[in-house]
Amino acid sequence: MSIDYPLFVSTWTFGKPANEQSLKVFQGGGSILDAVEQGIHVAEADASNPSVGLGGIPNAEGVVQLDACIMDGEGQRAGSVAAIEGILHPISVARRVMDNTKHVMLAGDGARQFALAQGFASVELLTEERRTEWEQWRVQNHPPDNHDTIALLGLDSTGRLAGGCSTSGWGYKLPGRVGDSPIIGSGLYVDGEIGAAGATGLGENVMRYCASFLVVEYMRQGLHPEEACSATIRRVIAADPRPAEELALNFVALDKQGRYGAAGTGRGFEYAVTYPGYSQVLQSAALSDTDVGPEGGNRR
């Protein structure tokens, strides 16, 4: 199938409308970085999505804390915010960190104060639906199985790459918990000469292996993006004593040649691909304990 540009690849079914907004922004004259940022806005503003932004599941104290990062393949520039409260679009705050400061990451109240100083409005992110669920959780104390993320990768016709990642994190997490999503090389990595990768799933397991960076390194070795995602998962499966299905590892990847792919543990996961004339949700490759191969070595 012939691919036109720009090309956008993102995690989960809610990545499809985000991709489509990215395409619209780019076709309207925005850069690939603008397109990624504003595509992620769609997921961040969707109150029905418990995984990202407004309407995200709060922490154990009933406070929504958000994580996000953005990365530009040109010059390996990056910006990130972690555990930020009361700001609707953390992806845009992350971009301001990248564009307007000498830092890469700001966290907690420092990130919030920076956002307010940059003109971002203070917003109540906890919806009544999530508040009710949180109150029920406090009584029942049954943690939800929710730790999804939007990771969105983009490539234009000149070969310029960009990526972004945004999440409300693990539902009912300990206050201050930060997962992989705002960590460059864990939840997201972009190498302007090779490709980009993003993660979703259980952040603790992504962080411990610098997994998105590893996906890009496998692409550097010549692997197709899907196989790079699979090779990374096989390597983690081999190193980690837990069953693969408990690791909750999922990756999307895109290389500079316009090839893309995804892989996840268990039954895999759904991811979205969009370019002019095409926008679909696809099923990723799926890996289990039996899929440990040469890249992974022998399971401990």
The set of catalytic residues is 149
Instruction: With H, G, I as helix, E, B as strand and everything else as coil, classify residue 113.
Output: helix
CA-to-CA distance for 101 and 88, rounded, in angstroms?
20
Among residues 165, 162, 224, the alpha carbon closest in space to that of 190 is found at 162
The token duo for 142 is: 């049954």
Q: Could you tell me if 36 and 154 are in contact, meaning their C-beta atoms sit under 8 angstroms apart? A: yes
Number of residues that this document lists for the chain: 300
- The contacts of residue 125 (CB under 8 Å, 6+ apart) are 53, 54, 55, 56, 64, 66, 85, 86, 88, 168
Among residues 7, 14, 54, the alpha carbon closest in space to that of 200 is found at 14
Among residues 203, 190, 192, 193, the alpha carbon closest in space to that of 163 is found at 190
Q: Could you tell me if 66 and 90 are in contact, meaning their C-beta atoms sit under 8 angstroms apart? A: yes
Among residues 133, 129, 91, the alpha carbon closest in space to that of 111 is found at 91
